[in-house]
Amino acid sequence: MMNATASALRQCSIAATLSLIGEKWTILILRDVFHGVTRFDDFLRRLECSPAVLSARLKTLTEAGLLRKVGYREPGERERFEYRPTRAAVELLPVLIGLMQWGDSHMTSCGEGPVQIRSQASGKLVRAALVDEDGELVSPRDMQIVPVGPRRTEGEP
């Protein structure tokens, strides 16, 4: 790999992403969204975190554009909201599946977790993988880091 400059590290996409989703409850909320959980009380029941923590994390994910709030009203009740994934959240799915795969392999005694992700069409296991823009598998040994040049800041031509 290459030596990163201090400037490049400050602009690191991984660091920026972790500042948004790198907290335990945030990742678990995203996990549950993809398990079909959408309502505050259901998140609270599954996650067993405090309502204040859950509320703050849902607000952060909504403001960041990963979740969108959709209103609903049960008969005789006030309006409440469901939290549904946006395209940006769906684009994080390979990251979540990769974390799950790694955890299944390295954090469990039996080498598998409580759930599997399978294709509805074929029934085959779905795995996160390194692929090139043509969809071909790429080995970590065959990857290279290529600088893309300085980033332009807002307002620059």
Res 8 pLDDT > 80: no
Q: Domains (ranges, CATH) in the chain? A: 16-86 (1.10.10.10), 92-144 (no CATH)
d(CA 5, CA 60): 30
Read off the pLDDT band of 153 (50, 70, 90): low
Res 1 pLDDT > 60: no
Res 152 pLDDT > 70: no
Read off the pLDDT band of 147 (50, 70, 90): confident
**Is the pTM value of this prediction over 0.95?**
no
**pLDDT tens track for 100-136:** 999 999 998 888 888 999 999 999 999 999 999 999 9
Q: Which pair of tokens denotes residue 99?
A: 């974390």
Question: 21 vs 18, 65, 76, CA distance in Å?
Answer: 5, 12, 36
